[in-house]
Amino acid sequence: MRTPSHVLLASLLLSTACATTGTRPPEPERVVPERPFGTLRAQAERQQAWLRERLDVALPQLMRQHRVEMWVVPMREYNEDPVFQALVSATTFAARRRTIYVFHDRGPQLGVVRIALGGSPQGGLYEVRRPPRKVDGGGVERVGEPWGPEQWQMLKQLLEERQPRSIAINVSRTFAFADGLSHGEYEGMTEALGPEWTARLKPSGGLPVDLLAWRGEDEGRFFAEENKLAWDIIQTAFSNTVITPGTTRVNDVEWWMRQRLSDLGLTTWFHPSVSVQRQGATEEQLGEDPIIQRGDVLHCDFGVTALRLNTDTQHMGYVLREGESDAPEGLKQALARSNRLQDLVLEELRPGRTGNEVLRTVLSRMKQEGIDGTVYSHPVGLHGHGAGAMVGLWDRQEGVPGNGDHTVIPSMWYSVELQATSPVPEWGGQKVRSAQEEDVILGVDGRVRWAYQRQTAFHLVR
């Protein structure tokens, strides 16, 4: 439907008034929602195939790798274990009263049995066990859901039936992703199981971490599409479609990015951030919400959440001065240094190494090449700051005890996050921070590739 001419005229007059008075520009035009990833039903069907592959392929491999015979994962509604979303279908949003997932590895020939005490079969992926039939007040037999102590007794009966030598549970002082068993659930479980079975409980270690980190090939194909969408939104945000130099504030750009996701029926796992570096101005002088001016260097941090998977991207932009057609050479060299630092991370990020080993090697090579930078890369996937080996923190360049000692595995994703600081001759030697973040995929063969592509030139606002 065409917009009436009087509405267009009013919009034009309002934009002109804002430009002359320096007031906040109007909200960007609402975009008709699109379906970049298809209908919700189609998305759920794709997610179900991912779940089946994760449980059929990854779970047995990882249970044997971590020497877990039986894994018990209890959780209650609204207090779900972090590993919950790696275990359930797209149509399952909560644990329903209580669900106890039990995984029993009977060896390579018989495979892993998947049992749910409570909850649903998740599209036929779990054997669901219910309590015995009960007769209600009207004399009708009904199968209820497990409830309270009765559910723990069902778990005890299952253990007695299968006689596992050890039982892994999610308790950890190192990984939040492996520490999902709440204190109340632990008390209820051990009280019901008694000392004999309680003595066989042990921490699940890295099993839930690596199951959350593991990604299939079709997930990688989707991740490329998701990263392309993130790129498209950033490219538009850092253009004259959104930014009018001398008028637009950084918060305007942040909210445009957030709104664009909402218009597409998507969301994010953090509020977008946009910042400015300016010749002759300090961060304190610029303040929290500066008006974007010509000659400014722009930076954004932006993530997309879709089909439970998350992206994480940081890009650089430049607002051309009058008469310029490109960013100054010194700024382009600053971006090239952060690109080179990306190269070093990709060359050293490989399965079998710990995150701290990758960090030490990259920082050593970085110093040999004379780059002034920091590396703080992290896994990404079902969580934005995802499960897996951490490669530094911005304020922990000596390594990250515990999280950084975990091992990189094949079939996982990383956000290669880092920054290089460089003096810019055109700015009188003032240092500029080129902070970049781009997602990569470690394939089943351990080779690293960009999920979509990486930024090698500034986004330009004319």
Q: For the chain, state the CA radius of gyration.
A: 26
**Checking phi first, is residue 218 left (phi over 0); if not, alpha (psi -120 to 50) or beta?**
alpha
Question: How many Å apart are CA 321 and CA 38, to the nearest integer?
Answer: 41
**Quick one: which H or E segment has residue 48?**
helix 40-53
Locate 387 and state its tokens.
């499960």
Amino acid identity, position 155? L
Q: Is 444 helix (H, G, I), strand (E, B) or coil?
A: coil
Length of the chain: 462
CB-based contacts of 79, cutoff 8 Å, min separation 6: 95, 182
Which tokens in the block code for residue 100?
A: 């106890």
Tokens 């209580």 -> residue: 98
40-212 is classed CATH 3.40.350.10 = yes
Give the pLDDT of residue 146.
78
Give the domain 215-461 fold: Creatine Amidinohydrolase (3.90.230)
Extended beta strands in 359-411, E state: 373-375, 378-379
Give the pLDDT score at 138.
58
pLDDT in the model for residue 21: 39
The rounded distance, in Å, linking the Cα atoms of 354 and 256 is 39
> Would you put residue 194 in left (φ > 0), alpha (ψ -120 to 50) or beta?
left
Please report how many Cα atoms fall inside a 13 Å half-sphere around the Cα of residue 432, on the Cβ side: 34
CA distance 72 to 202: 10
- Confidence (pLDDT) at 19: 41
Q: Output the pLDDT for position 426.
A: 98
Q: Give the residue ranges of the chain where pLDDT is below 50.
A: 1-23, 25-26, 28, 30-32
Domain ranges of the chain: 40-212, 215-461
Q: How far apart are CA 455 and CA 418, in angstroms?
A: 13
* The two three-digit tokens of residue 86, written as one number: 């790696």
